Amino acid sequence: MTWGAIFSQPALQAIIGLSLVLLLALIWGGIHNRRLGQRVLQALTPLQPRLGKHLHITWQGSSGFSAAVEEPQAPFRELTLATRLLPRETLPAFWVLLWLVGRRDVLQITGTLQAAPRAQVRLGHRKASAQEGWQTLQTAGGLPAALRGGEAEQVGAALRPLTEPTAARLVRLSLMPITPHVRAEVALHGLDQARLAALLANLSELCQAAALSPDQRSQ
């Protein structure tokens, strides 16, 4: 079949045009995700001395990267930061559907503390405060938060800077006595080095506040 014959058939033209659009979308998706991962890593790398001895970076294709912190600073015994990006190297309809149902590009923070926290905290879990034994905490940004087993005033004060409108947007956070003790998701939109540094510092303070015993709180 000659090119003239191909271009004279509307159905073939539509198939070729759609194929080119899909190919360009896949190429754009891969480039976009790699640039996004590199931007987050550029913000994270200068913070390495505050986090621990060294960052072990593993690139994970279109999902971005995972950074395991060697000998992390207190209160962490283990700490990993990893991007979870929309799968833009798949069919556009698939990742657009994920976006429509609420999935976003996030930085996932997973940590094991040197000691299990005495207070349990959930942020962004809408049904947490309705469960038995959980009490509601007030946050600056209005994100639903709940506490169990700790002093609301002190833990709430440590949680408040994490939810300020000018802070990095914390999508979800759980602080539990089972390992990994800390699980957090932070939106990548608007996340720069200053916001990331403040987030990590405030998260450490929250973990320290949750680890205090009642006697230590009263001191």
pLDDT tens digit at each of 219 positions of the chain: 565 665 667 776 677 777 777 777 777 777 888 999 999 999 999 999 999 999 999 998 878 899 999 999 999 999 999 999 888 877 777 778 877 887 899 999 999 999 999 899 999 877 655 567 788 887 877 788 899 987 778 888 899 899 998 899 999 999 999 999 999 999 999 999 999 999 999 999 999 998 865 555 444
> What's the Cα-to-Cα distance from 18 to each of 2, 8, 15, 205, rounded to whole Å?
20, 16, 5, 52
3-class DSSP state of 17: helix
Do the Cβ atoms of 67 and 57 come closer than 8 Å?
A: yes
pTM, two decimal places? 0.84
Inter-helix orientation angle 10-44/193-211, to 10°: 60
Q: What is the DSSP letter of 150?
A: S
pLDDT of residue 17: 73
Report the amino acid identity of residue 90.
Answer: T
Reported in sequence order, the residue ranges of 73-202 that DSSP labels E, i.e. its strands, are: 76-84, 106-113, 120-123, 135-137, 145-148, 170-175, 182-187
Q: How far, in Å, CA of 217 to CA of 219, rounded?
A: 6
pLDDT of residue 4: 63
